[in-house]
């Protein structure tokens, strides 16, 4: 606030023009928004399943984002469930898990249907099918066709093979570890974040979410003041993932080093 008369003649428009629109947004915020987009958009990028059109997060009066994402996922899974039901020639009653025929049940194991348990942890489960977006070979590119590893489960006539269940399980574990790390970082506890990231690195040194882990590591290292390591990690990250969607987060973290 101005405290003296000599500042009273400042030109408001000159002050306004001095504002830059491109001040860097918080790196954590960019990562969180990106995470949500990865959750909602990959399915929507597929021409056959434009779920993003029905994604309710943009509807007026919608509640928290987690709730909205959960509803979007439920809608998506209902689409699959209905498609599978039609393709398999089973009746509508087969949607109920207790009476579902074998084929439907197998699919529910792979991609849980929108039952109450699924609702309870919809966001967690939803993160499972997003590894392709983390892969350096397949950077997030929602306007192209959906990554094949994502689009295959969307096909109502092609239930997943059992082998992918193990993959999904591993991905879920990876995601859980990174979620813990992200929560720690979001709680302003970069030390705990690094601990969780180290767990992930030990368990999944070349995991599908290694890119996300490395990006978060840079942020956490900056948070604990290990700037030199952070810069080194950032350089390695840029070389290893030159087209990473997480690059802005890494760059912002490095830029924030005093």
- What secondary structure does DSSP assign to the chain, as a single string? ---SGGGTT--HHHHHHHS-TTPPPPHHHHHHHHHHHHHHHHHHHSTT--GGGG-GGGSTT---HHHHHHHHHHHHHHHHHHHHHHHHT--GGGGSGGG--HHHHHHHHHS--S-HHHHHTHHHHHHTT-HHHH-TTS---TTSPPPHHHHHHH-TT-PPPTHHHHHHHHHHHHHHHHHHHHHHHHTT-HHHHHHHHHHHHHH-TT-TTHHHHHHHHHHHHHHTT-HHHHHHHHHHHHHH-TT-TTHHHHHHHHHT--
Taking CB under 8 A as the rule, does residue 5 contact another protein?
yes
Total residues in contact with another protein, by rule CB under 8 A: 52
Judged by CB under 8 A, the residue of 55, 125, 174, 196 near another protein is 55
> Could you give the CA distance from residue 49 to residue 120 in angstroms, rounded to a whole number?
24
Question: Minimal distance in Å, beta carbon 17 to another protein?
Answer: 5
Q: Using CB under 8 A, which residues numbered 179 to 238 contact another protein?
A: none
C-alpha 53: how far from chain center: 18
Question: Minimal distance in Å, beta carbon 50 to another protein?
Answer: 9
Taking CB under 8 A as the rule, does residue 47 contact another protein?
no
Taking CB under 8 A as the rule, does residue 1 contact another protein?
yes
Judged by CB under 8 A, the residue of 47, 60, 116, 206 near another protein is 60
Q: Using CB under 8 A, which residues numbered 85 to 144 contact another protein?
A: 139-144
Question: Minimal distance in Å, beta carbon 95 to another protein?
Answer: 28
Q: Choose one: 49-57, 106-114, 123-131, 151-159; the region binding another protein (CB under 8 A).
A: 49-57
Q: Choose one: 76-84, 94-102, 194-202, 242-250; the region binding another protein (CB under 8 A).
A: 242-250
Are 93 and 104 in contact, with CB atoms under 8 Å apart? no
Taking CB under 8 A as the rule, does residue 74 contact another protein?
no
Task: Identify which of 121, 216, 125, 109 has the alpha carbon closest to the alpha carbon of residue 175.
Answer: 125
Taking CB under 8 A as the rule, does residue 21 contact another protein?
yes
Question: Minimal distance in Å, beta carbon 28 to another protein?
Answer: 9
Taking CB under 8 A as the rule, does residue 6 contact another protein?
no
Taking CB under 8 A as the rule, does residue 19 contact another protein?
yes
Which CB sits closer to another protein, 61 or 205? Answer: 61
Binding residues (CB under 8 A) for another protein: these are 1-5, 7-8, 10, 12-13, 15-26, 29-30, 32-34, 36-37, 40-41, 44, 52-53, 55, 57-61, 64-65, 139-144, 245, 247-248, 256
């Amino acid at each position: 606030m101005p405290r003296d008369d000599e500042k009273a003649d400042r030109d408001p428009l000159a002050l306004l023009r001095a504002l830059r629109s491109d001040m860097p947004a918080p790196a954590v915020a960019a990562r969180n928004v990106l995470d949500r987009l990865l959750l909602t958009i990959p399915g929507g990028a597929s021409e056959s399943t434009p779920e993003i059109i029905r994604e309710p997060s943009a509807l007026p009066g919608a509640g928290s984002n987690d709730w909205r994402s959960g509803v979007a996922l439920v809608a998506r899974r209902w689409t699959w469930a209905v498609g599978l039901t039609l393709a398999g020639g089973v009746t509508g009653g087969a949607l109920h898990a207790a009476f579902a025929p074998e084929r439907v049940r197998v699919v529910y194991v792979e991609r849980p249907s929108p039952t109450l348990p699924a609702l309870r942890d919809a966001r967690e489960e939803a993160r499972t099918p997003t590894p392709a977006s983390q892969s350096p070979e397949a950077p997030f590119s929602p306007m192209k066709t959906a990554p094949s590893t994502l689009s295959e489960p969307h096909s109502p006539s092609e239930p997943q093979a059992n082998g992918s269940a193990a993959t999904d399980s591993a991905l879920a574990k990876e995601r859980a570890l990174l979620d813990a790390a992200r929560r720690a970082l979001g709680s302003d506890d970069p030390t705990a974040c690094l601990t969780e990231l180290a767990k992930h690195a030990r368990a999944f040194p070349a995991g599908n979410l290694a890119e996300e882990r490395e990006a978060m590591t840079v942020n956490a290292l900056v948070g604990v003041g290990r700037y030199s390591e952070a810069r080194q990690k950032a350089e390695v990250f840029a070389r290893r993932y030159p087209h990473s969607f997480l690059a802005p987060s890494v760059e912002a973290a490095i830029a924030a080093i005093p």
